């Protein structure tokens, strides 16, 4: 039949003609169907998503942000609250005044005001009671800041000066006679220096600020015991609480030079306060921060024209003057009777008026007396 082969016809291909020819390959239609999964059994796999950040880290950032915001609000709120406790006084003098001068000059007054002290505290601190009048100024300092080094200059309270309407008498009497305006006027007329801002601290303010800072360092050179101020300390550097620091600032009877040494002690205490207040711990410790703000503001009085920014600049300038970056001196004196030197004192005043504190040089001495 056509299409079939015979052994004789194709035997020569296999030699002996007896070999079996190969079987033909099955047709494709005879192959079994491929084993495929049933329709719909395989679904497309979704694309992989990046892993989500850990929730703990995200929550930690939120908590940190909240705490930081709360801390900033606290740091701002405390000064705002303290500002409301500060007293305001009219310190603007009457009559002619020196013209505007470069730089800024503050009048810093430490008065014997008992503002902020209870009767029990007045007794404990040996301050006596209020006399009912304006009181007197135990501390008078001029703080000048400008283009040169910041200068803090003490004016001893027993300095003899001319006071308008009262003749020649001790400078601290000006406050008793006419309050802050007459004191400002007296200083301006006797020095030619224009006072830009007025800051007054009472006894209570000093005590509470020192205690809020955990005490300040004082370094008396001899044993000191004074019944009038209540001071009783041994010589050598030591930490003084508010009561001791106040007595140390007021004491003069145990010194041969009396008022000359007292103004140096006052600047020493002021410098220790500035040093302690600059410590980061003052801001990082919320309780200390609150106590310092409350203690300072409760016994502080400032001129009507002094705003928050001016007061902040005053604090920075005071810190600079007492931190080794500036000058702290006593007004140039001629003798131990705290008479202002008629030649050296006017030169010092001229340097301040013209904002040339860098040229003061040897005029700046701790006791005001000339140095060779």
Residues 333-345 pLDDT 10s: 998 889 999 999 9
- Where do we find the tokens 């909240």? 66
Q: At what angle do helices 203-212 and 286-298 cross, to 10 degrees?
A: 170
Q: Is the pLDDT of residue 19 over 60?
A: no
pLDDT grade, residue 13 (50/70/90)?
very low
Q: Is the pLDDT of residue 170 over 70?
A: yes
* pLDDT value of residue 171: 94
Beta bridge partners of 143: 106, 152
Residues 128-166 pLDDT 10s: 555 555 567 888 999 999 999 999 999 999 999 999 999
Provide the pairing of β-strand 167-170 with 160-163: antiparallel
State the CATH class of domain 87-363.
Answer: alpha beta
Compare 131 and 107 and report the one with higher pLDDT: 107
Helix (H) or strand (E) holding 211: helix 203-212
- Rounded to whole angstroms, how far apart are CA atoms 369 and 191? 18
Find the angle CA(8)-CA(14)-CA(20) to the nearest 5 degrees: 80
What is the chain's mean pLDDT, rounded?
Answer: 82
Q: Where are the alpha helices (DSSP H) in 278-334?
A: 280-284, 286-298, 308-322
* pLDDT value of residue 10: 47
* pLDDT value of residue 238: 94
Residues in the chain: 372
Lowest mean pLDDT among 249-253, 254-258, 284-288, 319-323: 254-258
* pLDDT value of residue 180: 94
* pLDDT value of residue 12: 45
Most confident range (mean pLDDT) of 23-32, 52-61, 87-96, 340-349 is 340-349
Measured CA to CA in angstroms, residue 68 lies from 22, 58, 72, 128 at distances of 91, 16, 6, 46
* pLDDT value of residue 95: 85
* pLDDT value of residue 86: 87
The residue-averaged pLDDT of 271-278 equals: 84
Compare 190 and 4 and report the one with higher pLDDT: 190
Q: Which residues contact 83 (CB under 8 A, 6 or more apart)?
A: 297, 308
The residue-averaged pLDDT of 66-73 equals: 82
The residue-averaged pLDDT of 284-310 equals: 85
Delimit the domains of the chain by residue range: 87-363
Residues 195-246 pLDDT 10s: 999 999 887 778 888 998 889 999 999 999 988 888 999 999 999 999 999 9
The residue-averaged pLDDT of 84-100 equals: 90
* pLDDT value of residue 236: 94
Question: Residue 366's Cα: distance from chain center in Å?
Answer: 26
SS3 content of the chain, % helix, strand, coil (to 5): 40, 15, 45
């Amino acid at each position: 039949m056509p299409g079939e082969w015979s052994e004789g016809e194709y035997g020569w291909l296999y030699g002996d003609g007896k070999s079996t020819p190969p079987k033909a390959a099955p047709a494709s239609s005879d192959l079994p169907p491929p084993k495929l999964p049933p329709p719909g059994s395989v679904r497309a796999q979704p694309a992989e998503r990046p892993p989500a950040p850990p929730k703990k880290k995200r929550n930690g950032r939120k908590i940190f942000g909240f705490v930081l915001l709360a801390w900033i609000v606290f740091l701002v709120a405390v000064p705002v609250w303290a500002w409301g406790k500060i007293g305001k006084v009219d310190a603007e003098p009457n009559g002619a005044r020196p013209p505007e001068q470069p730089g800024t000059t503050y009048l810093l007054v430490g008065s014997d005001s008992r503002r902020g002290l209870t009767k029990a505290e007045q007794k404990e601190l040996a301050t006596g009671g209020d006399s009912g009048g304006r009181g007197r100024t135990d501390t008078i300092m001029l703080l000048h800041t400008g283009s040169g080094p910041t200068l803090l200059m003490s004016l001893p309270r027993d300095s003899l000066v001319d006071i308008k309407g009262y003749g020649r008498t001790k400078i601290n009497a000006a406050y008793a006679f006419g309050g802050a305006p007459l004191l400002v006027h007296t200083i301006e007329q006797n020095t030619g220096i224009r006072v830009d801002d007025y800051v007054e601290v009472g006894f209570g303010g000093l005590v509470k600020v020192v205690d809020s800072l955990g005490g300040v360092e004082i370094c008396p050179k001899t044993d000191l015991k004074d019944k009038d101020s209540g001071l009783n300390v041994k010589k050598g550097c030591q930490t003084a609480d508010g009561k001791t620091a106040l007595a140390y600032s007021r004491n003069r009877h145990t010194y041969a030079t009396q008022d000359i040494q007292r103004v140096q002690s006052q600047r020493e205490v002021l410098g220790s306060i500035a040093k302690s207040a600059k410590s980061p711990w003052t801001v990082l410790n919320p309780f200390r921060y609150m106590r310092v703000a409350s203690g300072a503001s409760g016994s502080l009085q400032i001129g009507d024209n002094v705003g928050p920014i001016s007061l902040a600049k005053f604090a920075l300038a005071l810190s600079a003057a007492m931190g080794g970056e500036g000058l702290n001196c006593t007004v140039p004196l001629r003798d131990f009777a705290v008479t202002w030197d008629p030649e050296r004192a006017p030169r010092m005043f001229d340097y301040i008026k013209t904002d040339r504190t860098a040229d003061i040089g040897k005029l700046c001495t701790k006791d005001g007396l000339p140095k060779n």
